[in-house]
Amino acid sequence: MSADDVLALVREDLRDFAGYSSARSSRLQGEVWLNANESAWANPADADATCRRYPDPQPEALRAALADLYAVAPERLVVGRGSDEAIDLLVRATCEAGRDAVLVTPPVFGMYAVSARLQGAPLLEVPLLDDPGQGLVPDFAAIARAAGGGGAKLVFLCSPSNPGGQAITLDDIAALARALEGRSLVVVDEAYAEFSDLPSATTLLQAHPNLVVLRTLSKAHALAAARIGAAIADPALAGVLRRCQAPYPVPTPCAALAVAGLSPQARAATAARIAQVRSERARLAAALARLSGVRRVYPSQGNFLLVRFEDAQAAFDALLGAGIVVRDQRAAPALGDALRITIGTPEQNARVLSVLSALRPSTAVPPGMSDAAGGGGR
Ligand SMILES: *Cc1c(COP(=O)(O)O)cnc(C)c1O
């Protein structure tokens, strides 16, 4: 499959779209810049006068730092406001409203469906399979069938998956990309890749131009408020996505913080935090699995655990009563008894455990029993 075939997956009306021609993207040289209606003087709050001018649309130092971090060529990168922006760009650049579909694998991160809805792209859902040993895993045969039959331009895989926590092997990703070659882009959202035992899918990009990998500094790199994420894609596709972006998507203070946050010292600190999260994850998972009110702890490759409870409402309320807020997953199909708990500090995890161990054995009435009792008139 060549780059031309990948561009064939872009919306026809956007294939030669040049995007906004910003003051920073023109190739002019000079010393006195009077072309962008910027202020000639700095704001007093802007001590080092770094914010007086519009930023480089793809700040060079940040691009270089991310290319090094992910071991990819800079021309494959689209840097933006979190991976959320990358998701939105992919949907807008490839899906024609009312025609081209987006395929998702629920229960999964909600932004894929939100972006599809905003674009008017039909949503195809192929639920994850609940394997007693492995946890929530994609049904690859059903995905390939549904994507082909339903005209999906985009197939979103989440690895490690939020909220399930399971990661997908490179063999499975490569096989799906091959099966959908020329028809769909396979997007692997690796927001939690740093916490996983499995390698990143970036090594497959060369062989599979219809593959896109999403990464973010929001989770393992502890920079959620800086809003820095990236799509890593075929260079020609990356060019299209950049042209679809807002004119100056990366604020200068955010880029500066991200570059500092990727210094060798900062990366060493990140590696230490990741190691701590992984050991706390193992400890918390084992301890939770021993509690009487816990039905199941899914094996997780992320910085969170998906846990099924005998009485999820009681667990949620008890945690909230102790000031601990966890994610209620019960609205998700097939997770009617589940909460997602982020791995915290050892002290925070100990608090979670102490609250949940104090839960009294469930007195909840099994579903349907109260109705049956009422309806039966006894
Ligand atoms: C948190 C999360 C993101 C969002 O990342 P940002 O870079 O902060 O936009 C993307 N995908 C998944 C699966 C997430 O859980």
Q: Give 12-33 as a DSSP string.
A: GGGTT------TTTS----SS-
Ligand 1 center to residue 78 CA distance, Å? 15
Residue 164 has a pLDDT of 97
| 230, part of any domain | yes
Beta strands at 228-232 and 77-81: parallel, antiparallel or unpaired: antiparallel
Considering the domain architecture, whether residues 75 and 182 belong to the same structural domain is answered as yes
Considering the domain architecture, whether residues 275 and 158 belong to the same structural domain is answered as no
Ligand 1, atom 12, residue with closest C-alpha: 191
- Which of 246, 262, 278 is at the close of a domain? 262
CB contact set of 308 (below 8 Å; sequence gap of 6+): 294, 295, 296, 297, 335, 337, 338
Considering the domain architecture, whether residues 187 and 69 belong to the same structural domain is answered as yes
Ligand 1 center to residue 84 CA distance, Å? 6
Distance, in Å, from the CA atom of 357 to the CA atom of 337, rounded to the nearest integer, reads: 17
Distance, in Å, from the CA atom of 375 to the CA atom of 33, rounded to the nearest integer, reads: 79
Question: How many alpha carbons lie under 13 Å from residue 297 in its C-beta half-sphere?
Answer: 21
Distance, in Å, from the CA atom of 18 to the CA atom of 179, rounded to the nearest integer, reads: 31
Q: Give 281-321 as a DSSP string.
A: HHHHHHHHHTSTTEEEE---SSSEEEEEETTHHHHHHHHHH
Ligand 1 atom with minimal separation from the 218 CA: 8
Q: Name the E strands within 310-365.
A: 327-328, 338-342
Per-residue model confidence as pLDDT tens for the chain (378 residues): 566 789 999 999 998 888 877 777 667 888 999 999 999 999 999 999 999 999 999 999 999 999 999 999 999 999 999 999 999 999 999 999 999 999 999 999 999 999 999 999 999 999 999 999 999 999 999 999 999 999 999 999 999 999 999 999 999 999 999 999 999 999 999 999 999 999 999 999 999 999 999 999 999 999 999 999 999 999 999 999 999 999 999 999 999 999 999 999 999 999 999 999 999 999 999 999 999 999 999 999 999 999 999 999 999 999 999 999 999 999 987 899 999 999 999 999 999 999 999 987 655 555 544 443 333 334
| Site of tokens 């945690």 | 319
Distance, in Å, from the CA atom of 241 to the CA atom of 75, rounded to the nearest integer, reads: 12
Ligand 1, atom 6, residue with closest C-alpha: 82
Query: Residue 37 region, left (φ>0) first, then alpha (ψ -120 to 50), else beta?
Result: left
Considering the domain architecture, whether residues 145 and 124 belong to the same structural domain is answered as yes
* Helix 170-179 vs helix 140-150: crossing angle, to nearest 10: 20
Number of H helices, E strands in the chain: 12, 13
Ligand 1 center to residue 234 CA distance, Å? 21
| Site of tokens 């039905």 | 295
**CATH number, domain at 128?**
3.40.640.10
CB contact set of 202 (below 8 Å; sequence gap of 6+): 70, 71, 72, 213, 232
End-to-end Cα spacing for the chain: 69
Specify the number of domains making up the chain: 2
At 167, list the tokens.
Answer: 């990661």
Ligand 1 center to residue 190 CA distance, Å? 8
**CATH number, domain at 297?**
3.90.1150.10
Count CB atoms within 10 A of the CB of residue 224: 12
Which range of residues forms the domain containing residue 45? 3-262
Distance, in Å, from the CA atom of 103 to the CA atom of 253, rounded to the nearest integer, reads: 35
Q: How far is CA 60 from CA 65, 67, 74, 95, in A?
A: 9, 10, 9, 30
CB contact set of 122 (below 8 Å; sequence gap of 6+): 98, 99, 100, 101, 102, 116, 150
**Is the pTM of the predicted complex or chain greater than 0.95?**
no
- Which of 228, 262, 296 is at the close of a domain? 262
Ligand 1 pocket, residues with Cβ under 6 angstroms: 82-84, 109, 158, 162, 189, 191, 216, 218-219, 224, 229
| Site of tokens 């691009």 | 63
- Best substitution site from 87, 128, 216, 250 to test ligand 1's pocket, by max atoms within 8 Å of Cβ? 216
Considering the domain architecture, whether residues 217 and 257 belong to the same structural domain is answered as yes
Count CB atoms within 10 A of the CB of residue 63: 20
Ligand 1, atom 2, residue with closest C-alpha: 191
Query: Degrees (nearest 5) of the Cα angle 22, 27, 30?
Result: 105
Considering the domain architecture, whether residues 106 and 28 belong to the same structural domain is answered as yes
Residue 112 has a pLDDT of 98
- Which of 225, 242, 262 is at the close of a domain? 262
Q: Tell me, what DSSP letter sits at residue 58?
A: S
Cβ–Cβ < 8 Å for 175, 140: yes
- Best substitution site from 70, 81, 83 to test ligand 1's pocket, by max atoms within 8 Å of Cβ? 83
Considering the domain architecture, whether residues 153 and 34 belong to the same structural domain is answered as yes
* Radius of gyration for the chain, computed over Cα atoms and rounded to the nearest angstrom: 23
Ligand 1 center to residue 87 CA distance, Å? 9
Ligand 1 center to residue 216 CA distance, Å? 7
Ligand 1, atom 14, residue with closest C-alpha: 191
Q: Give 182-223 as a DSSP string.
A: TT-EEEEE-TTGGG-SSPPGGGGTTT-TTEEEEEESSSTTS-
Q: How far is CA 50 from CA 20, 43, 252, in A?
A: 23, 10, 7
Ligand 1, atom 5, residue with closest C-alpha: 83
| 378, part of any domain | no
